[in-house]
Structure 1
């Protein structure tokens, strides 16, 4: 593709490139090209009805007020996506994260248009994808239109993908702080559960962690470890501090030794500065970060993912709470399976045992089964560790009762009678 437009955002007429009913895809979280998405939303009335695929929001331009006239799809209900879904403005696609690159490159969700935020060019004229080379970047090769936002506050990061001016249809130049993603609030209950998880993590382990206060709290408990590695879908400020403090060195990794690997950076301006031309950090696309063979070959891969509720037999709901879609299937199963096949790996689902006085260890899930009980799991709460791997249902129930809140154990035990225990 040769560029047909360039300049500042206020002079770019998106209607020249985007057609009614196109599927438009852009980077998630800190990688959202917000000047372009703001333009898209401002000009949507002239373009006509559009379909969009979005990920995790972080100071996103897409809100309840700006989403009319759009048919929005997402794999997750995080942040402001939850309000969009509750209002009927967002349709959830419940899929494993590892399948997203293929879905956005072919089939009913194939991207017609990709909006991408990139760094200034290097000495060869190549632009880094900056803050994410995850699921959306596969669509750069198949979309009819690619529009770039060249943001001089986006770091140049190392990894698999760069892009040049011959690969986009149009481009604009901006200077603005990428969307920030603050850490969740860590309560004493969350910290207690995180300490239980941290007690399982040995020197030299390779870490994967999901989004949320509990995985973040786990990272804050690891500053006395040595030679940890990172291979994760996301890298945040807490992980950055472990690298800065010499806790994460990657020296014992079997793949990508000496570097931290992630698909997405999500955090503060300090994280963005840390990532700029940092050889200790590689951003790779989802086809690599979530690849079964890569995960299985990783040394002591410890996957730490959160959940909304877990039942007494080990089924996990990570999608809905009180009837609202607030989470995702996401990459949890991809990483839990990888960790279970990794030599010395640990497939962990961690959660506080209660929320608002209600038990999050339940007899029966109130929502969908995001991770089935057929997956090997270790469930952790502030009350302990329930290693369910290889256990029959009756033994699973016994171990899950032990990590439930004591105030709820009698009711849960009564509910665990047949047919649940069958």
Structure 2
């Protein structure tokens, strides 16, 4: 039976975590802040630990904590950027969808899982609250599972719940969860959003990547009917359209009537809407990113972003100006799924420039996160380039047309890779 504690004051992680353990916790809004803060406080007492980080929404982990902790992550977003710049973050360049299998097989070791849960229902079941994604695999693999039961975390529906019998330690808290506040899109982002929104028809099912662009796109869909969502994450804009009756899932071929997601990445607005709402269902990545599930979802519109795209359609979503700021992520799963979906649209959206530098390039300045064989529809503020079925020369012309006018002449002189 789980050890029960009221608040973190009496929590002694030294009694549960061994030197050299591999520790994992929920990412973004699912981070159990009380537990991770306590881990930082006791890191010297515990000894060297290997910590797997997802996308952070807090500043709990900082470079100076590398004195007793080592850090590994699949992504360089949020606070991970500072860790990578300081040279204390190692990168696991994997598809996001493979994380549960890597954990389950032991290739990605997990000894201790720190999780944030909702209060229990009448049957004593705690929901995973903000995320399932790779957490279910971590919980099943870990030697020790320590839970923060936070009464401000929503009770969310899904296929996984936990009881006290599944946990080694339970700490009861009451504090606002970490939030991801959407950034305000600029003029270029709004123009990109307009082009993408123009491609989305009534009854489509949406997958949404991270960032200001997907949220701006969703905000432009208020006049659509019966949209669905099947995505690795959702934010506040999805809650807005669900409440408005725009996102109903009524025409989905898989998960009809439900918004299916791996994580909630938003603010208290989203958390309140998700609390007890059976129309939102949390699933792990083995379902949200499953190629057969995605292919079976008719009119799946995958909307992802990129750091840069070359003239042949190759995509770099990981490295900008020599710094690891993105991820391989789940884009390739969804782009391939949308390409196989009947009436699907595999979309990558980005502004044409970043700080005056062209993001449409002749040769990628970072790794190939998505090959040109998987390129579908590329969108900038200057238009839509549908690359499907086009030769390299035809792609070159389409990509030049959506590059920033100030860079087209220089790009025309470059050879296509």
TM-score using structure 1 length: 0.97
State the Cα deviation string for residues 180-232 of structure 1 (Å, max 9, x = none). 10102300000001101111100000000100011111111111111100000
- 1:197 corresponds in structure 2 to 196
Alpha carbons 2:302, 2:338 under 8 Å: kept = yes
Measured in 2, the distance between the counterparts of 1:322 and 1:164 equals 46
- 2:365 corresponds in structure 1 to 366
Are residue 171 (structure 1) and residue 180 (structure 2) matched?
no
Measured in 2, the distance between the counterparts of 1:415 and 1:152 equals 58
- 2:60 corresponds in structure 1 to 61
Are residue 352 (structure 1) and residue 342 (structure 2) matched?
no
What's the secondary structure of 1:66's corresponding residue? helix
Note the C-alpha offset of 1:5. 4.8
Note the C-alpha offset of 1:106. 2.5
- 1:107 corresponds in structure 2 to 106
Alpha carbons 2:314, 2:375 under 8 Å: kept = no
Unaligned runs of 5+ in 2: none
Are residue 279 (structure 1) and residue 292 (structure 2) matched?
no
Note the C-alpha offset of 1:4. 3.5
State the Cα deviation string for residues 115-144 of structure 1 (Å, max 9, x = none). 000000011101000010111221111110
Measured in 2, the distance between the counterparts of 1:79 and 1:350 equals 20
1:22-421 correspondence runs (5 A): 22-416=21-415, 420=416
Measured in 2, the distance between the counterparts of 1:191 and 1:376 equals 23
Measured in 1, the distance between the counterparts of 2:135 and 2:127 equals 14
Measured in 2, the distance between the counterparts of 1:374 and 1:296 equals 17
Alpha carbons 1:68, 1:89 under 8 Å: kept = no
Note the C-alpha offset of 1:68. 2.7
Unaligned runs of 5+ in 1: none
TM-score using structure 2 length: 0.98
Measured in 2, the distance between the counterparts of 1:119 and 1:225 equals 33
Note the C-alpha offset of 1:402. 0.7
What's the secondary structure of 2:6's corresponding residue? coil
Measured in 1, the distance between the counterparts of 2:337 and 2:262 equals 16
State the Cα deviation string for residues 90-109 of structure 1 (Å, max 9, x = none). 11111101100111222342
Measured in 2, the distance between the counterparts of 1:184 and 1:66 equals 28
Note the C-alpha offset of 1:374. 1.1
What's the secondary structure of 1:374's corresponding residue? helix
Measured in 2, the distance between the counterparts of 1:145 and 1:107 equals 15
What's the secondary structure of 1:138's corresponding residue? helix
Note the C-alpha offset of 1:55. 0.6
Measured in 2, the distance between the counterparts of 1:343 and 1:184 equals 33
How many residue pairs are counted as aligned between the two chains? Answer: 417
What's the secondary structure of 1:116's corresponding residue? strand
Compare 369-378 and 357-366 and name the one that shifted more.
369-378
Measured in 2, the distance between the counterparts of 1:277 and 1:66 equals 37
Aligned CA RMSD, in angstroms, stands at 1.0
